Structure 1
Amino acid sequence: MHSPQEFDRNAGGHSTALTPAGDAPGFADDFSAVLEGTSGHRSTIGCVIPAYNEEESIAGVLTSLLAQTRVPDVIHVVVNNSTDKTVKIASEFAGPHEITTELGEQFTEVFVHDIGKNPDKKVGALNYGYSLVEGYDYLLGVDGDTIGDPRAVEYLETEAVSDSRIGGISAIYSIDTAPIKGAIAKFLIAGQRTQFAAFNLQNLLRGRNMAVLGGQFSIFSTTALRDVMVANRQRTPWVRDSEVEDSLLSLQIKSAGYLTKISPYARADVGGMTTIRAYDAQQVKWTFGAIELMWPGQRGDTKGQPFHPNLRLRWFENFGMLTNLLVRIGFVTLLAGSLSIGAFVFSPWWLLPPLAAVLLNVRIAMTMKDRTTRDILFAALVVPAEIFMWIRLSHFLRSWFRFLSRKKVDNWAMQAQAERGSGSAHWMPLVMLIVVLVGLAVAWNLLTPAIQSAILWIGWPVLGVVTVTQTVLMVFKLLRRYQGFKV
């Protein structure tokens, strides 16, 4: 790595005054008690911001950190592989800051490090930042496009300090809809907000045990990070041979005997993907990396696969996506076959599964703290959620195909390329779907009427059993108490 270029330009201090959070109904008494009477710092926090071409967002990220009720003791912006004005813009915040908040006088200093070309990309930037803050009690990891709510750091620190068993805590993530323009972008953001909401709610209802401490806005105990390095014989907390560095580190923290939690109060808005190309590349990278973690024998440091607590959830998610895919393909195929021979008979019972899905989606949307009319409509109208599900299924298929083909691909580079507007791989699942459907249609027409009838006679009952099972599970989720959580 190149030597860091630090920019020591002073930025004026400022003050913030915020209203206390107050009591939130439905939350566990023990956590509410932790927040009572907190009036000062009880630990040291070093913030690390890995930044890659973040000229449009880095100023907002730094402004939000300096406006926190609990300001990090030091902030290191680690710029890597960037070709835009990230360094120039971030340098305007460099230097010491004296800040007055409701918690009292606070001091922090912002450093900007340009490490130039970095083959390890975000992982390299994170490890570089860790070397600068390893003497602090906690490392706060913040992505270069993530804006934390004013009390986010305060809430994360308060809970982390309250329990030495906690190795890391993640904020609740969503996406700010205000700057989003264009119909496609708004549709994709609505889908991603729903996806985040369901994921956050799932983890909150699992005793607030977080399977993935997302690097977007999470706090880590440096003691836990050191223990992870010793247990796994690593020189750094993050390793470069994983597509999902945050998932792997979360798994390792859990394996080292620590708790990985999600805060019910701390919130942060992350940068969403506003094009199908970029969203596809991001999701394929995440899903591919998750498959590598959970697949037996792929990694020697994922002990107990697939029974590790953090990996069981991954298996359930992938099994659920596979079921969704088979049900949809099966329904389209059987419906077309029935219509082709005049054997289609409509039954009102078929409306129950989509009705259960809509009610579940609406209930999840209602748990969003900053829900909008678009969020409710996205959940209530069948078509938007169904289209988004097909898009997610395409990511699922591409990820598994890439994994099983053993093709060596730099998914980080492909995501960066997609975000720049290049690449066409996201169309491949649609092309393959059309080819498969055409092939099935041709094969169907070559069958005799007797064989066609036999396929329908067996296919519909099998599809019915699977669909009924799915519907029952959705009803259970629909009737489950959400304990007052807001995502």
Structure 2
Amino acid sequence: MMPRIVAFIPAHNEEKSIRDCLAGLADQTLPKYVQLDIFVIADNCNDRTEEITFEAARDFGLNVIVLTTKNNKQRKVGALNTAWKYIYGDPLAIYFKEKSEYQELYQQSIKAILGMDADSRLAPGALKNLWDDLMSQRNIGGVMAKYTMRLPKKKKLLSKDDVHYEEKIESGEYGGPMARWWTHQQKQDMASWLLNLQYHGGSTYVLGGQATLFRPEALQEVVDKNKLDGPWQNDSDVEDMLLTWQLQKLNWKTLISPKARCFVDSMRNYHSFRQQRNKWQAGTVDLLTNKQLNVHTTHKWRLWRSQIKFLLDLTVRVLFVLLLAVSIATDQFYWSWIWITPIILASILNTILAIKTPMHRPIDVILAALLISPEIYLWVNLITFCQVWLDKLSAHKKDGWANQYKAERGATKSKLGLGLFTFSLIVGIIIYLCVRYREFLTSEPVQQAIYPYLMSGWIFLTYLTIIASIAMIYQIWTLRARHKA
């Protein structure tokens, strides 16, 4: 039996995207004498996912096996493990079932397992690149493709007289200015992360579920060592990160491919983006703090450093706004041109990142240089950071997957409007009080009482800003390398 790659594609109501995903696999150039089998797991579907999968398999000439789950409570994890058990058997089965000679040969013929999302599409040649990377060393357990968010086409290109107008809008292929802006911010964020990983050797602490090629022996060792019924676990909202840490614990290398690219869908609005990032951030924090899972990563300090950076960014901004407001209210504000240094560094850093982001637009570079887009995007992530750590201290555990699914299909509403209104109202009240009681606030006794605290605050802020500036200089230095995002 010829060696083969098998692809696991969990698909929960993915009738709009599964054909494009399979079209991407049909575009691939397979390694010499290697076959490709595709397992699409129709997970609790109530749409036309299965029907469209069979149609696409016939049209593209692909060898596709459709597995159907019913009442799967573990969502993506359960779907992936369904495909695994179909090939490698279910250790929880009550009755022992001896494998046929064909099953044994088929299992032995599998040299790589591709885990993909149904809304992802591999770039031409990506699978061959992933294969070459995986087979370059015996101790590589998994190789992940570089992810690039697909920018929606301009909504205004569609004529409202088009009989398929509503259908095309609903497909997500087209989007307005805000959807395109959100997509680019996520794409630039991903580019920054990929460039940083490549600068530090290409090792990654998460093999993303969108497109990763695994070595079967590595996954089997995770199952055996941890006494699992499948490689993927439901103990974390970030099952791909948990699996990566388990591979690293068993001394398997986990890398990103320098060439393979995968195009993935982005979150098109504030609400769905927040819910996705809440899930990711909460899952990461849980892995870092949950000792019961007994997993570790060589990148643990890098993840903690990321959390510290969020805290530093939040502290600097909140402290600056507070000190600035009190200084102006008490007429004790003095401008110094040295304060523009971190602003210039941030502008340079974000401009370089925008330029290095694949398929960027001129407007993206301009907004990055003016720090408009990076600052808005950072504040959204800081809100997520605060919410996740506050939820960590509460007794109630949220279902990240369920919240993300509801946000994506519009079942829940964003509180952004209410938040902005409340913030504007508080700012307006503070400004009104400062104007009304200006004589009192600018009186000498009040100024003398507040001055020592203001000086201490500005000094502390200066030290924090110096630390943040050094971090930006270091990041600018790393971007000089000729790595591609």
Question: Normalising by the residue count of structure 2, what TM-score does the alignment of the two structures yield?
Answer: 0.83
Could you give the per-residue CA deviations for residues 161-205 of structure 1, whole angstroms, max 9, x where no partner exists?
A: 121110000011111214441122111111101110011111111
Q: Does 1:248 align with 2:229?
A: no
The corresponding residue for 1:359 is: 348
Cα distance in structure 1, aligned partners of 2:75 and 2:279? 14
The corresponding residue for 1:124 is: 78
Cα distance in structure 2, aligned partners of 1:349 and 1:337? 20
Kindly report the root-mean-square deviation, in angstroms, between the aligned alpha carbons of the 2 structures: 2.6
8 Å Cα contact 1:398/1:429 also seen in 2: no
Q: Does 1:301 align with 2:294?
A: yes
Question: Alpha-carbon deviation of 1:318?
Answer: 0.8
Cα distance in structure 2, aligned partners of 1:187 and 1:97? 34
Cα distance in structure 2, aligned partners of 1:258 and 1:432? 50
Question: Alpha-carbon deviation of 1:133?
Answer: 4.7
Distance 1:452 1:434, change over 3 A: farther
The corresponding residue for 1:10 is: none
Question: Alpha-carbon deviation of 1:234?
Answer: 1.5
**Which of 358, 361, 371 is matched with 1:372 structurally?**
361
The corresponding residue for 2:18 is: 58
The corresponding residue for 1:218 is: 212
Could you give the per-residue CA deviations for residues 15-42 of structure 1, whole angstroms, max 9, x where no partner exists?
A: xxxxxxxxxxxxxxxxxxxxxxxxxx99
Cα distance in structure 1, aligned partners of 2:476 and 2:426? 34
Cα distance in structure 2, aligned partners of 1:467 and 1:43? 56
Percent identity over paired residues: 30
The corresponding residue for 1:478 is: 476
Name the SS of the counterpart of 1:93 in structure 2. helix
8 Å Cα contact 2:8/2:80 also seen in 1: yes
The corresponding residue for 1:407 is: 396
The corresponding residue for 1:263 is: 257
8 Å Cα contact 2:8/2:113 also seen in 1: yes
- Paired residues for 1:464-475 under 5 Å: 464-475=462-473
Q: Does 1:160 align with 2:153?
A: no
In structure 2, stretches of 5+ residues that fail to align are: 89-106, 154-172
The corresponding residue for 1:386 is: 375
Question: Which stretch shifts more, 84-93 or 246-255?
Answer: 84-93
Cα distance in structure 1, aligned partners of 2:426 and 2:465? 22
**Which of 158, 183, 194 is matched with 1:189 structurally?**
183
Q: Does 1:171 align with 2:108?
A: no
Distance 1:362 1:42, change over 3 A: farther
Question: Alpha-carbon deviation of 1:111?
Answer: 1.7
Cα distance in structure 1, aligned partners of 2:3 and 2:346? 45
8 Å Cα contact 2:143/2:256 also seen in 1: yes
Letter in 2 for 1:112: V
Distance 1:313 1:438, change over 3 A: farther
Q: Does 1:91 align with 2:54?
A: yes
Cα distance in structure 2, aligned partners of 1:398 and 1:431? 19
The corresponding residue for 1:272 is: 266
Letter in 1 for 2:181: F
Question: Which stretch shifts more, 457-466 or 348-357?
Answer: 348-357
Cα distance in structure 2, aligned partners of 1:440 and 1:117? 54
Could you give the per-residue CA deviations for residues 100-147 of structure 1, whole angstroms, max 9, x where no partner exists?
A: xxxxxxxx5112222133110000011112224552221101101111
- Paired residues for 1:283-302 under 5 Å: 283-297=277-291, 299-302=292-295
Letter in 1 for 2:49: T
Distance 1:453 1:159, change over 3 A: same
8 Å Cα contact 1:194/1:364 also seen in 2: yes
The corresponding residue for 2:66 is: 112
Question: Alpha-carbon deviation of 1:440?
Answer: 8.7
Name the SS of the counterpart of 2:118 in structure 1. coil
**Which of 457, 460, 464 is matched with 2:458 structurally?**
460
Name the SS of the counterpart of 1:162 in structure 2. coil
Question: Alpha-carbon deviation of 1:381?
Answer: 2.3
- Paired residues for 1:416-455 under 5 Å: 416-424=405-413, 427=416, 448-455=446-453
8 Å Cα contact 1:133/1:139 also seen in 2: no
8 Å Cα contact 2:350/2:371 also seen in 1: no
Name the SS of the counterpart of 1:118 in structure 2. coil
Question: Alpha-carbon deviation of 1:443?
Answer: 11
Cα distance in structure 2, aligned partners of 1:144 and 1:226? 24
8 Å Cα contact 2:74/2:234 also seen in 1: yes
Question: Alpha-carbon deviation of 1:349?
Answer: 1.4
Distance 1:151 1:288, change over 3 A: same
Name the SS of the counterpart of 2:175 in structure 1. coil
Question: Normalising by the residue count of structure 1, what TM-score does the alignment of the two structures yield?
Answer: 0.83
Letter in 2 for 1:454: P
Distance 1:378 1:140, change over 3 A: farther
Aligned length: 433
Letter in 2 for 1:51: A
Distance 1:114 1:478, change over 3 A: same
The corresponding residue for 1:21 is: none
Letter in 1 for 2:81: N
Cα distance in structure 1, aligned partners of 2:235 and 2:420? 30
The corresponding residue for 1:234 is: 228
Question: Which stretch shifts more, 278-287 or 349-358?
Answer: 349-358
The corresponding residue for 1:281 is: 275
Question: Alpha-carbon deviation of 1:472?
Answer: 1.5
8 Å Cα contact 1:277/1:421 also seen in 2: no
Cα distance in structure 1, aligned partners of 2:237 and 2:20? 27
Name the SS of the counterpart of 1:309 in structure 2. coil
Q: Does 1:204 align with 2:169?
A: no
The corresponding residue for 1:78 is: 41
Any runs of at least 4 consecutive aligned residues in structure 1 with deviations exceeding 6 A, and if so which? 431-447
Cα distance in structure 2, aligned partners of 1:80 and 1:384? 37
Name the SS of the counterpart of 1:45 in structure 2. strand
Q: Does 1:44 align with 2:4?
A: yes
The corresponding residue for 1:325 is: 314
